[in-house]
Structure 1
Amino acid sequence: MGGVPSIPTDRTRTVQVIGAGYSRTGTVSMALALEKLLGGPVMHGGTQLFGREDAYVKLWCDVFANRNNKPVLMKLLREATAGFVAVTDAPATAFIAELVELYPDAKVVLVTRDPDRWYNSMQTLIKGGIGSMSVLKVILWPCPGWRWAPRWLKHLEKTRCSFHAVMLIFSDSILIHNEWVRNTVPKERLLTMELKEGWEPLAKFLDKPVPDEPFPHANDGEAMEKFAKGVFRTAILIWLGILGGTSLLAWVGVGAWRRSLMAV
C-alpha cells in the first residue's frame, strides 16, 4: 500500500489533522508527511483496515453501523482514532463533519487533483480489485481483518451516496466531494493543496518547520494492484489449508470407522 499500519502507543494523544482528500489523491503520501511533521502515528484508512487486527477492523464496521445514532457514533469514533495524531483516506473521510466536531482544535487538509487523472487512477484501483462483494465475502471469510472488507466497503459506498448524492464514480466525483468539504469545514481550519506543492504550504499551515528532505511519494496504482493480488493469493492459501485439513480429518475418520467395523 506504500505504508504500514501505525499503531498508537499513547492513546491520550488526539487528532491534530484531518485529511479530507478523496481516495487516490495521495493519501498514503500525505499520511507519511503528517507522521514526519507531527511526530506521531497517522491512521491511513486502507493501510489500517487491510493491515490491522480483526477487532480494530470490526470497530470501524460498528462505527458505520451507528451512523444514525450520534452519541454512540461519536464514542466509537473517538475509540477508533484514539492515539492517532492525524487521519487520512476512507473510512475517516466518511466522517469529516463528525471528526471536525469531535476534535475542535484539529485542522483539515484537502488534497485535490486533476479530475481526469484522478478518475483514471480510480479506474485502475477498481479494475485491480478482487471482484464482486459476493465473491469477496466468500474468499475473505476465513481471513482475520480482511473478512470485514465487504461490510465496511458497502457501508462506505452507502455513506458517500448519502452526502454526495452519487453512487458511482465519475470524473467529477472528486469535485463534488471537494465542494462538500469546503461547505462543511470552517474556512479558517481548512487548507486546500496539491501534493506537487510539496512541504511548504502544509508545514506553514501546521506551523511546523519545512523538512530538509523530499516530500513522500507512495501508493501508486501499480502498488495497489499488486497489493490486491497479494490479498487474493493469501486468502486462497488459507482456503487450501482449511480444505486440505478438512479432507485429512475426513480421511482419518473414515479409516477409523472402517477399522471399527472390521473389529466387530
Structure 2
Amino acid sequence: MKVIGVGFGRTGTMSLKQALADLGAGPCFHMIDLITGENRARDLAYWVRIADGEPVDWNEVFDGWESTVDWPAASLWREIADAFPDAPVLLNVRDFDGWYRSVENTILAVKLAARAGELAQDANREQPAPELWGVIEKLIWEGDFQGRFEDRAWVRRMYDERIEEIRSTIPAERLTIWNLGDGWGPLAAMLGVAEPAHDFPRLHDTNEFRAEFGLPALA
C-alpha cells in the first residue's frame, strides 16, 4: 500500500481517489468501488466479513489496490495503518459544518430515500447491493456515528476527537494532513513526486452525488 487515507467520507475523497491515481498511487480503493467497481463482488465479500467483526488478512483485502480513501476503510483506520506500517497515512479533513451538511444531503439522504423505497430505479448509478447497505449501517451509522448522527453536538465532538486521536496515534513523520482545497502540494510531497501540471480534480459535489441516485438537486 502506498497511501492509507483515514479521514471520513465527504471530505473530497472522490477527488483524492483520482488525484492519488494521477500521482502514481492508484488504483485507489473508495466506497464507489463497492458499488460500481469491476471487482465489487470480491471486495464486498471481505467488507461484509469485516463489518461482522470477523478477522481478515488485510493484504488479501487490498490485493490489487495501492491506496485507499473514504469509508468503509476509514472506519478501520487503526487496523489498516497497523497492517501496513510502512505506508504513509493521509488525514483528509474539512470544516465540520460543511462536512456535516454534506453528509446530511448525500449519504443520509440516500439512506432515508432507500428506506422509504423512494430511490429512482432509473438513477444514473447502479444501486448498492443489499449487502453493502448492511456494511454501511454497521461501520458508519452504528460504528463511527454510534446511532447518533442527528445529535449534531455529539457528532462535532466525535469528529474533532477522531482527528486528534489520529494525530496522536500516527507519528508526525508518517502523517500528512490534507484540508479540502489544499490541492496537489501535500499529496505530492507525501509521495515524493512532482505536482502535475493539470488542475486538481474536483469531483462528486453534493448535487452530483444526489443526481447519481436520482435525488433532486439542492439550490
For normalisation by structure 2, the TM-score amounts to 0.81
Q: How does 1:241-260 map to 2 (within 5 A)?
A: none
Amino acid at match of 2:211: K
Amino acid at match of 1:58: A
Amino acid at match of 1:218: L
Q: How does 1:108-257 map to 2 (within 5 A)?
A: 108-126=89-107, 128-131=109-112, 146-156=129-139, 157-161=141-145, 167-168=148-149, 170=152, 172=156, 173-229=158-214
RMSD: 2.6
Instruction: Identify which of structures 1 and 2 has the higher relative contact order when contacts are C-alpha pairs closer than 8 Å and 6+ apart.
Output: 2
Structure 1: which 4+ aligned runs deviate by more than 4 Å? 132-136
CA 1:193 to 1:220, structure 2 compared with 1: closer, same or farther past 3 Å?
same
CA 1:228 to 1:18, structure 2 compared with 1: closer, same or farther past 3 Å?
same
Amino acid at match of 1:179: E
Whether the 8 Å contact between 1:43 and 1:86 is mirrored in structure 2 is yes
Q: Is residue 2:15 matched to residue 1:29? A: yes
Amino acid at match of 1:111: N
Question: What is the Cα deviation at residue 132 of structure 1?
Answer: 6.7
* Unpaired runs of at least 5, structure 2: none
Whether the 8 Å contact between 2:35 and 2:127 is mirrored in structure 1 is no
Instruction: Look up the SS of the partner of 1:193 in the other structure.
Output: strand
Structure-1 separation of matches of 2:41 and 2:137: 18
Q: Is residue 2:34 matched to residue 1:54? A: no
Structure-2 separation of matches of 1:84 and 1:63: 17
CA 1:145 to 1:160, structure 2 compared with 1: closer, same or farther past 3 Å?
same
Amino acid at match of 2:201: P
Whether the 8 Å contact between 2:3 and 2:25 is mirrored in structure 1 is no
For 1:87-135, what per-residue CA distance to the aligned partner results, in whole angstroms no more than 9, with x for missing partners?
A: 0001100111111111111001112111111111111114531527755
Structure-2 separation of matches of 1:127 and 1:97: 25
Higher helix share: 1
